Amino acid sequence: MTLNILFVSSEITPFAKTGGLGDVGSALPRALSSLGHKVTAVLPRYGSIPKKALENTHRQITVALGGESITAGIFKGALDDKTDVLFIDQPELFGNRPNPYGDDKGDYPDNDRRFIFFNRAVIELAKSLSNAPDILHCNDWQCGLAPLYLKLERERGNLQKTASVFTIHNLAYQGHFPKKSFRLTGLPKSFLKMNGGVLHHGKLAALKSGILFAGAVTTVSPTYARETILPELGFGLEGFLEKRGGSFCGILNGIDTDEWNPEKDPLIPQNYSAKNLAGKAACRKELLKRFELEDNLARPVIGMVSRLIEQKGFDIIEAAADDLLKLDFSLVVLGAGQKEYETFLRKLAKEHPGRVGAEIGYDNALSHLVEAGADIFLMPSRFEPCGLNQMYSLRYGTPPIVRATGGLNDTVTDWNPATGEGNGFVFEKPSPDEMLEAVDRAVATFGKQDEWRKIIRNGMNADLSWQASAREYTALYHSLL
Ligand code: ADP
């Protein structure tokens, strides 16, 4: 049976993206459409999304927000010829802001108002559709209240056939706001509590609401699902997740195999395939030129594309830097984030001209060149719900070095020269020594051409598409109906 799915996300590429959520918000709806479902994605219309590119449906919804009545327009766009996107257009809260969450000064101070409004608007939108959705699929804290609003609507006799799914893309971002923001939610007072309510340690907690009130909760890899019910990676929500029992599971993300395809990628200087890797050498040359690094064929280029934050293991790299640079490789890093890591990387590049290159900023085209031009990809995350870059690197013939956590553990297997199995290099503990050992092994194996080709092929030939995941989501949806 094909389903009618309303897929709600605060990021959908190419309209809005600050991280992996944007990629998933675009690829998963399209993969579900390709299985025959009728999928409509929903996104706020941020200022960066020009109205003139969209169709005005001339429909409006009105939402009560802390005693005010706020109206929004509905605009329409598309992800492909089967997948529509409905944009909630509210100038004061979204349209007049260039970015989804904040600017140079930090998060917008009224993110509570903005996203409480968005959640309520989604429910009003669902109610206004001529064909009510079977599934309301909400993502991350930005949509965490919608499952609760849906539950309350159902108790009032509305949206009776709609079930909700809530997907956690990163448990570290929980959407906490002062308790007084509860006033804006319009929720019954009975939810102003910790147990069975939307409070968590005295704060209004949007992610927790999704965990408690959705029909089913998922996260983006099976390993991360197992890790998040433990205190180390549960960020205080482990108990609530564990309580969900069988209605909490991990479904591995796929990648957009059209956008990330070395055979067709228009953003790299030469295309290549697993059968013919010649173009990869041209990409490598271009990458070294771009970062003004020495062109030494015997010295592998290790690439990184990442937000520069502790989660991604930059503190481990910083601690290991001196020993790391005793090994023979070049390093290119593209990233932006915490100032201390930006400073550290700039300094490292300055101290090692010709060997270390750092580009501080966000640059999609350059991220494709790094994936294609590097020989090895490094992703030593402390935790990683799924991670996309290691999958891009597998597809681009750039074996990844990763820590065995979350989705990294589910997608990268350690190279075993005895069996010829493995597509990268895996280390267990988030320690400089273990990372160093893995880098050392990768650099040494790079010198063994036959082994290296096999590792590359193992990675490039793997199925990383969304099809398998979309089928798993479909099975989950059906189990709720
Ligand atoms: P996260 O969502 O935690 O940042 P993921 O690996 O899941 O990590 O996804 C990151 C996404 O953002 C990838 O598509 C990656 O290519 C992209 N990305 C991250 N930093 C940059 C950057 N500085 N420039 C270009 N793309 C980036």
Asked whether residue 1 carries a pLDDT value surpassing 90, the answer given is no
Is the per-residue pLDDT at 91 higher than 90?
A: yes
* 336 CA: nearest ligand 1 atom: 23
Task: Please indicate, yes or no, whether residues 371 and 241 belong to a single structural domain of this protein.
Answer: no
Q: Kindly give the distance from the C-alpha atom of residue 399 to the centroid of ligand 1, in angstroms, as a whole number.
A: 17
Residues 328 and 398 in one domain: yes
362 Cβ closer than 6 Å to some ligand 1 atom: yes
Establish whether residue 364 lines the binding site of ligand 1, counting it when its CB lies within 6 angstroms of any ligand atom. Answer: yes
Binding site membership of 221 for ligand 1 (Cβ less than 6 Å):
no
Tell me the per-residue pLDDT of 38-61, one tens digit each, with 9 for 90 and over. Answer: 999 999 999 999 999 999 999 999
End-to-end CA distance of the chain: 11
Q: Is 336 in the pocket of ligand 1 (CB under 6 A)?
A: yes
Query: What DSSP designation does 105 have?
Result: T
Give strand pairing partners of 200: 203
Is residue 301 located within the same domain as residue 237? Answer: no
- Positive or negative: CA dihedral 209, 214, 33, 84: negative
Q: Is the CB of 305 under 6 A from ligand 1?
A: yes
Residue 55 in any domain: the answer is: yes
Average pLDDT over residues 79-102: 97
Residues 247 and 331 in one domain: no
pLDDT tens readout for residues 222-247 = 999 999 999 999 999 999 999 999 99
What's the CATH code of the domain at 432? 3.40.50.2000
Average of per-residue pLDDT values in the chain:
97
pTM over 0.85? The answer is yes
Average pLDDT over residues 118-143: 98
Beta carbon of 23 within 6 Å of any ligand 1 atom: yes
R_g of the chain computed on alpha carbons: 23
pLDDT, residue 208, reads 98
Shared domain for 233 and 326, answered yes or no, is no
pLDDT (0 to 100) of residue 19? 85
Domain enclosing residue 37, as ranges: 4-254+466-480
**Does residue 40 line the site of ligand 1, with CB under 6 A?**
no
pLDDT at 20 over 90: no
Q: How confident is the model at residue 471 (pLDDT cuts 50, 70, 90)?
A: very high
215 and 103 co-located in one domain = yes
Mean pLDDT, residues 346-368: 97
Instruction: Assess whether 206 and 231 both reside in one domain.
Output: yes
> Does 350 score more than 90 pLDDT?
yes
At 454, list the tokens.
């096999």
Checking DSSP bridges between strand 38-44 and strand 84-89, what pairing results, if any?
parallel
Rounded to the nearest whole angstrom, what is the distance from the C-alpha of residue 305 to the centroid of ligand 1? 7
Q: Which residues pair with 128 in a beta bridge?
A: none
Closest CA to 397 of 445, 448, 462: 462
